[in-house]
Amino acid sequence: MRSLVFLAFALGLAFPAFAQDQEGQGTLNLSAALGTGPALQAGLRWRVFKSQTDPDGTHRLIVESALPHPSLTVPPGDYVIHVAFGLASATKAISLGAEARDTKLILSAGALRIHCTAQGDRAVDPADVSLAIYVPERNNATAKLVYAKARENEVIGVPEGNYHIASTFLDNRGVGSLDKTRNVGIATNSISAGDVNVATGKIVDVTLRHHVATLTIKLVTAPGGGALANSTFTVLTPGGDIVRELAGAFPSLVLAEGEYVVVARHDAKTYQATFTVQSGQDRDVEVLARGATN
């Protein structure tokens, strides 16, 4: 019985102290906006640092959050609040007591939202494109790569200014490529790009259109005949630039619309054909095993 009385006495002392500690905390209710626009609802990264520097000259990180409107509990003191939205950011210094305070940070920035289409205005699978954002300089649209992991339809915060957006179509359908070093789609020769100006507080929608088709290549002894196994193929532009190398009886690949040359090799003999790619028209390309060269 005596031990129970002691425990009750100890808890009676501890709980009021705990409650007092909680009551002595401050709360930051945070939000952010682009210029005079409404509060952002996604894509934010918050960090709260101690205002006073540590002996090594750094500001200690106290708490962080990826919520759009976090409520963060911290001891009273001086802090620096930092919010990042894509490539844009803002900071604010505050002194917080044992209180709840609503704090809104204004980003002097706008945003980009990139849409990609193929074969007309059909939306593409986000896995089928690789998007990059550049800051252009005079006579060089891709002078400075600033964001290489943009996602289709993502709202990306950027400081106001001029940007060059490039979308590379990825081949996730083709089989037989000799490039086996990648575990993601292989970059095709279809690149759609555009330039845009972003003003503070504005979300700019950019649509990039790809004109591609999927081709299956076969080496045959007669039109419509069966494909010869153990064949390799090199697809080139009319100027002789290699687009892709493939192997197999009937490998396939995604190409931008245009004119191409294909060189087929089988049993130490070489054959050649030309073909045209038209956007959205998937088809077979036959190389006749005739007029071989060594």
130 burial level (CB within 10 Å; 0-12, 13-18, 19+): buried
Q: Indicate whether 157 pLDDT > 80.
A: yes
More confident residue, 121 or 50: 50
The band of 275, judged by pLDDT with boundaries at 50, 70 and 90, is very high
Q: Indicate whether 57 pLDDT > 90.
A: no
Backbone angles phi, psi at 126, to 5 degrees: -55, -25
Average pLDDT, the chain: 88
The predicted structure's pLDDT at residue 122: 86
The predicted structure's pLDDT at residue 98: 94
Q: Provide the b/e sequence for 79-100 (b: ≥16 CB within 10 Å).
A: bbbbbbbbbbbbeeeeebeeee
272 burial level (CB within 10 Å; 0-12, 13-18, 19+): middle
d(CA 33, CA 90): 10
- With a pLDDT cut of 70, the percent of the chain lying above it is 87
The band of 185, judged by pLDDT with boundaries at 50, 70 and 90, is confident
Q: Indicate whether 178 pLDDT > 70.
A: no
Q: Indicate whether 160 pLDDT > 60.
A: yes
* Residues facing residue 234 across a β-bridge: 245, 263
252 touches 244 (CB < 8 A): no
pLDDT in tens, 7-51: 333 333 333 333 333 568 999 999 999 998 899 999 999 999 999
User: Which domains are delineated in the chain?
Assistant: 25-107 (2.60.40.1120), 109-210 (2.60.40.1120), 212-288 (2.60.40.10)
The predicted structure's pLDDT at residue 180: 47
The predicted structure's pLDDT at residue 292: 61
Average pLDDT over residues 65-86: 96
Token reading at 14: 């501890």
Whole-prediction pTM: 0.79
The conformation of residue 9, written as its DSSP 8-state character, comes to H
The predicted structure's pLDDT at residue 294: 60
The band of 139, judged by pLDDT with boundaries at 50, 70 and 90, is confident
The predicted structure's pLDDT at residue 80: 97
Which of 162, 166, 158 minimizes the C-alpha distance to 131? 166
- With a pLDDT cut of 90, the percent of the chain lying above it is 72
More confident residue, 56 or 4: 56
278 touches 257 (CB < 8 A): yes
- Residue 31 half-sphere exposure, CB side, CA atoms within 13 Å? 12
pLDDT in tens, 213-238: 999 999 999 999 999 999 999 999 99
pLDDT in tens, 250-264: 999 999 999 999 999
